[in-house]
Amino acid sequence: MNRPAPIFRESSAEPRTESLPFSHLSLEIGHLYMEDIVQGPERLRRHFATVRPWVDAVRSGLGTSVTGPRPRVSTCFLIDDYFSRLAAPDELLPSLVEEATRAGLTIDYLARESACAVAPGADRRQIRPAESVMHRLVESPPPGSSGFRPPVSRTGWLSNGSRTPARRTSAALDPAGAVWQPPRETDARGHSVFMDVELWSETEGQRTWSCAFLAAVWQLVRLGLLRDDGRAVLTPVPWEGPDFPEEWDALPPVLRLNPAAAPFTAYLTCSVLPGRFLPVEHAVRVILDQIQVEEGPLGQVAQRSAAECVEVPPGIADRVSYVFPPGL
**Alpha carbon distance 188, 39 (integer Å):** 41
Q: Domain extents for the chain?
A: 16-128+216-276+294-323
Per-residue pLDDT of the chain (328 residues; tens, 9 = 90+): 445 444 444 444 556 889 999 999 999 999 888 888 888 899 999 999 999 999 999 998 886 666 666 899 999 999 999 998 888 999 999 999 999 999 999 999 999 999 999 998 767 789 999 999 999 998 766 655 555 567 888 889 998 887 776 655 555 555 555 677 888 888 788 888 888 999 999 988 889 999 999 999 999 999 999 999 899 999 999 998 889 999 999 999 999 999 999 999 999 999 999 999 999 999 999 999 999 999 999 999 999 999 999 999 999 999 999 999 998 8
CB 253 within 8 A of CB 111: yes
What was the pLDDT predicted at 166?
63
Q: What is the pTM of this model?
A: 0.88
Please spell the DSSP secondary structure of 158-199, one letter per residue: EESEEPPPPPPSSGGGSPTT------EETT-BSB----EEE-
Contacts 24+ apart (CB under 8 A), 149-155: 152/199
